[in-house]
Structure 1
Amino acid sequence: MTLPSIASLLRPSQYFTVRGGVHPETRKNLSSESAIEDMPIPSLLRIPLQQHIGAEAEPMVKRDDHVLKGQLIGKARGPVSANIHAPTSGRVIAVGHFAAPHPSALPVPTITIRPDGEDTWGPRLPRLRPENATPEEIAAQVAEAGIVGMGGATFPAAVKLNLRARYDLHTLVINGAECEPYLTCDDRLMRERAEDIYDGIGIMARALGVRQIVVAIESNKPQAIAAMQQFDRALGIPSRVQVVPTQYPMGSEKHLVKTITGRETPARALTADLGVVVHNAGTAHAVHLAVRYGEPLISRVVTVSGRGVKRPANVRVLIGTPVAEVLEHCGGLVEDPDRLLLGGPMMGQPIQNRRVPVVKGTSGILALTAAETPDRDTMPCIRCGRCAQGCPVGLTPFELNARIQSGDLEGAVKIGLLDCLTCGCCSFACPSNIPLVQTIHYAKGKLAEEEGRRHQQEEAKRLAAARKAREEAAAEAKRQMMAKRKAEMAAKKKREAEAAARAASAETPPDQAPTSQPQTAQAESTRDGGATQ
């Protein structure tokens, strides 16, 4: 493929500026030139049943079951959930709990599979011809495949595809910004699988019923821009590749929409309210595989990077592969990392246990050395306002921090706590090295805990009120039944009394009054005779 000049690719195109943001050192050169490689099947797979926003999946297998590649092992539960499939063939050795790929490392429901090495496929999903399929059929296929947002949000993709029923949608935006430092998995995917990605984009556009497509890529990815531009006329829907500034957090969907359209999404609202739906480039590739070939989401491309890794790379790994085995595949660690992250350095999750698995939302595994994470002492806030200048939402993080530290969570909510993206721009910009984003994370967790406790209390009150209502209804029904029985018994007694009276009247002897008349005549004749004598 002949690449156009970088100057022509980076020629300024029309876009709208957004507030805030920062420009951290990208450090993408560590892995950006590493082509995607397939990692061998690991010795063990641990597949959590909660790899998405929403309700965890329900296990469909039990211990000692033999499963085939692509077999459904966890069924979506509820309207916002996602199916889980076996990444390869093997034997289920446990259905229980294992440490989550999360800083807490709390155990979560997990299915553990020991691969048999044969990688035998089971029955795949039925293939669709998207040109002839209905939007409902496409969304159903995506749901069956268990596809979620591959950019890290892990929102079930089928739920977004069904937004056409609730909103007047006109634009599909494909997020190829990949603004987090170090991460290059989407960059490589767009370079190497551009045609497949564009096919998935077209399938999603048909499902959404949109009228145009915009593929947004940051200006620091000229090869990806060139590759995607080769296919931007290959769809039946007008589409274009939009070069956007290299700025963090350009990957935030609301800011990406603002950059492209100039329209700001209201607080607590969806971009769908503006008629725009945003999907990740990796999600589009997964949709292509699911619809064209019936392949569920069982693997993903992960960037393994950082100075602590011997050989930074972009690796396609099976979902459930332990982090330790991925690092070993990349040559292991050159030194004990100062921080081990899942995801990028700005919003990634630090982990301590290397046995935790790669999940659907894992975009990177970063082993950062002490030189990459300079440890500065925390100083008092100097009220310089740099955190407010960097905040892409327009908040005042220093004031949020002060209210949270004083325990005034309600006051923090009033000034925008719930609107915070927890993107980390404030902490990055702070010259005093105040852990602002960690404080906000704590406050959000505290609010969620209080909300959960309040919900439990309200639910207990609701259940108690419902029980009382049932008891009162039962008592009222009993009173009415007793009153009815009493009335029936009284009516029965009355009927019995009336019947007895009629029966007694029927048994009385006939009246003897006519026989008394001759007796009176005889007495009169006797009196007359006596008088004659």
Structure 2
Amino acid sequence: MLKTFPKGGIHPPENKITSSKGIKKMPIPKVVYVPIAQHIGIPSEIIVEQKDKVEIGQVIAKSGGFVSSNIHSPVAGTVTKLDMIVDTSGYKKQCIVIRTDLKNESNFEDIEYPLKTEIVADAKDILQKINDFGIVGLGGATFPSHVKLQVKEGTKLDHLIINGVECEPYLTADHRLMLEKAEEIMVGIKILLKALNINNAIIGIENNKRDAIELFKNLTKNDETIKVAALQVKYPQGGEKQLIRAILKREVPKNGLPLDVGVIVHNVGTIFAIYQAIQHNKPLIERVVTVTGKKLENASNYWVKIGTPIKDLVDEVGGLPEGTRKIVNGGPMMGKAIKNLDVPVTKGTSGILVISEDEASRGEPKNCIRCSECVNVCPMGLEPHLLMNLSEKGMYEKASYEDIMTCIECGSCSYVCPSHRPLLDYIRFGKNIVKKLNTSKN
């Protein structure tokens, strides 16, 4: 019997049309646009100026505080300006614009790092390097990894869970990374076990990735510390709380963290980035991005430099098909539509989804018929219809009381609503207001 979480969840069409497409290398962009707010927390502080020459991997923005992260130049080139640009959030953010020196040979080095299994760094050095090299969570949340790994003395921690679920429809970046970099991911897991001083790691993978499950089962068959958990296909199983419940049957408290039940969760992409940082001193300057859509000519997965304009990725797969309605940063459930193709890839960009007119059309919103479908599918046990109504009417104190901040924004409620009500849209709006109200109180 395959494991899964018991509360809520849905089964949208998977549309994993790029799962068999190996990861390709994107051409070096002529210009990169590197935002300084690519992580949860305080934006980084720019330490370069216009006309400065920079090298690949050079720190160009330093961590702005404890919950923050360094940002490195993804190319060798010249800083042409410090500008305000629209990023994937839809808002203008400060950005470092670098014109690539295309004559610089280092920009064209396609280094194939050899597998390095011996872990020399001690726990303190591991945490310091993760901090220095700008590693953040690559599963979407972009939480600075060094912060997550700093466990307070006296905290009971016994499990590391590696999130290889990738339950969002269309996206296959993690799947391909697991198939192509499995041995490196295994070393990355051992690095974190050493840093955390624990002996139990579990890799959670949904059953629609059987090739990845078999590969990791083979790699772990003689390892007592690392196990593989095959999971039932169910959205949103990639959420930390849902994944912990599915694998360990532990319930993270409301407003609590995985550490409250003795667990730390990291995405497979983050694990690979940690491996590169510790074993090869490589900062986080590129990541795997799925570029997909049913009508794209050459949908595939790519290694992409941070700061690459999304236009470059779309051109690489053959351009926008006729009848394109939306370009989404992320997957169709939790992703957000972007305003234009000049928006750059950031550390949190897992996929670019091109949606046609017929796929993107929404039904006309109607009155709620009190069917309770949104309540049934909510993995957090909330009442989405109520939270939408409270947000719509500006009753934010009441929305806070009804736990609107507990919503993980998975979109399951909007997906099943027979009245086509924009539940998630209003809940997101309400959450932003409640967050601002809570901040002002503090």
**TM-score interval, normalised by the smaller of the two chains:** over 0.9
Equivalent residues of 2:28, 2:305 under 8 A apart: yes
The 10-residue stretch of structure 1 (183-192 or 400-409) with the greater mean CA deviation from structure 2: 400-409
CA RMSD of aligned residues (A): 1.8
The 10-residue stretch of structure 1 (361-370 or 201-210) with the greater mean CA deviation from structure 2: 201-210
Distance in structure 1 (CA, Å) of the matches to 2:336 and 2:359:
16
Answer yes or no: is 1:278 the counterpart of 2:252: no
- Could you tell me which residue of structure 2 aligns to residue 120 of structure 1? 106
Q: Which secondary structure does the structure 1 equivalent of 2:131 belong to?
A: helix
In structure 2, what residue type is equivalent to 1:394? G
Answer yes or no: is 1:377 the counterpart of 2:364: yes
The 10-residue stretch of structure 1 (358-367 or 348-357) with the greater mean CA deviation from structure 2: 348-357
The 5-angstrom pairing of residues 33-432 of structure 1 reads 33-102=20-89, 104=90, 106-117=91-102, 118-120=104-106, 131-163=119-151, 165=153, 167-233=155-221, 238-432=225-419
Answer yes or no: is 1:26 the counterpart of 2:11: no
Offset at residue 178 of structure 1 (A): 0.2
Distance in structure 2 (CA, Å) of the matches to 1:287 and 1:166:
25
Instruction: Describe the shift of the 1:95–1:19 C-alpha distance in structure 2 as closer, same or farther (beyond 3 A).
Output: same
Offset at residue 119 of structure 1 (A): 5.0
Equivalent residues of 1:130, 1:138 under 8 A apart: no
Cα offsets for 1:239-285 (capped at 9, x unmatched):
11100111000000111000011110001111111111000000011
Offset at residue 129 of structure 1 (A): 8.6
Offset at residue 453 of structure 1 (A): 4.4
Distance in structure 2 (CA, Å) of the matches to 1:130 and 1:139:
17
Point out the structure with the larger helix share. Answer: 1
Distance in structure 1 (CA, Å) of the matches to 2:362 and 2:170:
19
In structure 1, what residue type is equivalent to 2:433? K
Q: Which secondary structure does the structure 2 equivalent of 1:338 belong to?
A: strand
Decide which structure has the larger Cα Rg and report it.
1
Offset at residue 333 of structure 1 (A): 1.3
Offset at residue 401 of structure 1 (A): 2.0
Equivalent residues of 1:164, 1:209 under 8 A apart: no
Ranges in structure 1 where 5+ consecutive residues have no aligned partner: 1-11, 122-127, 456-533
- Percent identity, aligned pairs only, is 39
Distance in structure 2 (CA, Å) of the matches to 1:233 and 1:206:
20
Identify the structure with bigger relative contact order (alpha carbons < 8 Å, sequence gap 6+).
2
The 10-residue stretch of structure 1 (414-423 or 19-28) with the greater mean CA deviation from structure 2: 414-423
Instruction: Describe the shift of the 1:75–1:380 C-alpha distance in structure 2 as closer, same or farther (beyond 3 A).
Output: same
Distance in structure 2 (CA, Å) of the matches to 1:420 and 1:277:
20
Equivalent residues of 1:342, 1:351 under 8 A apart: yes
- Could you tell me which residue of structure 1 aligns to residue 110 of structure 2? none
Distance in structure 2 (CA, Å) of the matches to 1:452 and 1:415:
18
Equivalent residues of 2:169, 2:331 under 8 A apart: yes
Distance in structure 1 (CA, Å) of the matches to 2:323 and 2:31:
24
Distance in structure 1 (CA, Å) of the matches to 2:28 and 2:159:
39
Distance in structure 1 (CA, Å) of the matches to 2:410 and 2:286:
26
Distance in structure 2 (CA, Å) of the matches to 1:180 and 1:277:
21
Cα offsets for 1:26-74 (capped at 9, x unmatched):
100x211110000010111000011001111111111111111111111
- Could you tell me which residue of structure 1 aligns to residue 111 of structure 2? none
Q: Which secondary structure does the structure 2 equivalent of 1:444 belong to?
A: helix
Equivalent residues of 1:185, 1:303 under 8 A apart: yes
- Could you tell me which residue of structure 1 aligns to residue 430 of structure 2? 443
Distance in structure 1 (CA, Å) of the matches to 2:118 and 2:65:
26
In structure 2, what residue type is equivalent to 1:349? K
Offset at residue 454 of structure 1 (A): 4.4
Equivalent residues of 1:130, 1:291 under 8 A apart: no
Ranges in structure 2 where 5+ consecutive residues have no aligned partner: 108-115
Distance in structure 2 (CA, Å) of the matches to 1:189 and 1:131:
21
Equivalent residues of 1:16, 1:262 under 8 A apart: no
Cα offsets for 1:140-187 (capped at 9, x unmatched):
011111000000100011111212646221100000000000000000
Q: Which secondary structure does the structure 2 equivalent of 1:45 belong to?
A: strand
In structure 2, what residue type is equivalent to 1:367? V
Equivalent residues of 2:397, 2:434 under 8 A apart: no
Distance in structure 2 (CA, Å) of the matches to 1:284 and 1:260:
19
Distance in structure 2 (CA, Å) of the matches to 1:233 and 1:166:
32
In structure 2, what residue type is equivalent to 1:44? V
Offset at residue 451 of structure 1 (A): 3.5
Distance in structure 1 (CA, Å) of the matches to 2:375 and 2:71:
41
Distance in structure 1 (CA, Å) of the matches to 2:222 and 2:119:
13
Distance in structure 2 (CA, Å) of the matches to 1:248 and 1:382:
24
Instruction: Describe the shift of the 1:265–1:321 C-alpha distance in structure 2 as closer, same or farther (beyond 3 A).
Output: same
In structure 2, what residue type is equivalent to 1:204? L
Distance in structure 1 (CA, Å) of the matches to 2:231 and 2:132:
34
Q: Which secondary structure does the structure 1 equivalent of 2:149 belong to?
A: helix
Distance in structure 2 (CA, Å) of the matches to 1:143 and 1:234:
32
Cα offsets for 1:168-216 (capped at 9, x unmatched):
2110000000000000000000011100111111101111112201000
